[in-house]
Structure 1
């Protein structure tokens, strides 16, 4: 586990591992990359999908370099957005990928906003499934509608279904992104995933550290790819400053905690179901 500290004591990952078009080629396995913050890339035997790619234009200072820029992406079969927050829905990234991305998917409200921005978003309901090539994708429930408590954002009714996670079924195993969310009872009743994109933010509108540990230990075989930490220079803002080291003595089978450098690939492996 390579965890570093900046001058403010904020935990950070190792240096970004830059990649280019070679990572999008057809392969005989499924590779996963954490792109920083809550951005992920999946190459499933040549089907390339990104989730919440934030590769440019963020409005807060960063601690990392992006491992790839939109101009260097040769093609995407699909791009998934979980919710409207600008550390997940990067309008600049989505727009700059229009010429190479085959499809955009999101909860229905986010897809509507995409369309207003000239992005051809396809809206989906929670629990709805769709296909991108031979990868089956299902929206999973979340609770992250924090805007309803803010006078600044009271211009609409913020519903839980405006936010989602994603469950992906590939030829090589299952990947689950629970998404930014409070821990829900439904999160503890999923099938055993092979990989969880693991948010462990100790924040009331995220899962909290206690909730993250409960989730991790409910699925003791799943690899835990740590996300939503170490990338935004915000040492006093809990959604961005978790430390994976705090998980080590609390998670069953801690060797499955994957602390990746942005851009570093790992191979999806199917776990024995218990």
Structure 2
């Protein structure tokens, strides 16, 4: 068995000493036969080449909680005067190559030059649509933020940015980010790799932020599985003032269900963790799977209606959208409208 090139540590309920795994859940591993069955199925919907975006220009600091959608899983979280980016990707492609791979159809919702001072970066896992080394290099050079991430991901970052300020943790570990802000790494049902030979050698996770202004949960990338981890999150952590939950990249289900939720499952997560409000992320920027670009937004509306949740409580966030988050029981407000 190949030794882990990123992490060494004792076995646990989700680490066998070499590779991480999702305990008690369907395997996420997919072979060449599965890939060919999917890609030759010809079910991928056609996306537009470009979707217009009105870019936001953030304030330097925000006293309350404001979330600005950059695109896909990249968001600017401003809370209690601290500025945090999640899974930042400003590159044109989610790929190890500049000339191939999924190409973004929406410009970043914030121009890189318009970013406020960035204090921290949250990384959920090392897939290219979530860990973009070119962007992390730019952020390190311009802002030198602390970068919080699950086990093993620091080795990947430091191979390119040796002096990056990486801090790591396992599921349920709390990491101090400064300014009275901490992130607790939460479990997810997913997987990770950079290349075919390092599958599941670095961990995947979500981030639960505790700030003086309120709480924010960034779910990262996840399937639903048996739902146990979400009930556990809801039981162990206070209801987040806002949850950032993926709603896209889910078709075909036979291939994607173990690793990506669909909008109906996203609504189940919203209820499981008892979130007060939510923003739908991980849709509409890169075509990674078969569903049409607008399908996640439309399916989210249907799923909310089916269970009687007001649509304003769970909004499909669009690039450039600026959302002021109330910490009472009111709905998220799009500050761009």
Q: Secondary structure at the match of 1:49?
A: strand
Q: TM-score scaled to structure 1, two decimals?
A: 0.83
Divergent runs of 4+, >4 A: 8-14, 238-242
**Higher relative contact order structure (alpha carbons within 8 Å, sequence separation ≥ 6):** 1
- Root-mean-square deviation (CA, aligned residues, Å) is 2.9
Q: Summarize the Cα distance change of 1:41–1:31 in structure 2 as closer, same or farther, 3 Å threshold.
A: same
Q: TM-score scaled to structure 2, two decimals?
A: 0.68
Matched, 1:245 2:298: yes
Gaps of 5+ in 2: 1-44, 94-100, 251-255, 331-337
Displacement of 1:226 after TM fit? Answer: 1.1
Gaps of 5+ in 1: 1-7
Matched, 1:101 2:144: yes
Instruction: Determine which structure has the larger strand proportion and give its number.
Output: 1
Q: How does 1:193-212 map to 2 (within 5 A)?
A: 193-201=240-248, 202=250, 203-204=256-257, 205-212=259-266
Q: Summarize the Cα distance change of 1:49–1:12 in structure 2 as closer, same or farther, 3 Å threshold.
A: farther
Q: CA deviation digits over 1:6-29, x for unaligned, max 9?
A: xx5659997423234xx2423332
Residue 272 (structure 2) aligns with: 218
Q: Secondary structure at the match of 2:268?
A: helix
Of 86, 107, 122, 1:51 maps to 86
Q: Summarize the Cα distance change of 1:213–1:134 in structure 2 as closer, same or farther, 3 Å threshold.
A: same
| C-alpha contact (below 8 Å) 1:55/1:68 kept by paired residues | no
Of 151, 158, 170, 1:125 maps to 170
Of 143, 163, 167, 2:208 maps to 167
Aligned residue pairs, count? 258
Distance 1:42 1:12 in 2: 28
Of 85, 89, 92, 2:131 maps to 89
Displacement of 1:233 after TM fit? Answer: 3.9
Q: Summarize the Cα distance change of 1:74–1:254 in structure 2 as closer, same or farther, 3 Å threshold.
A: closer
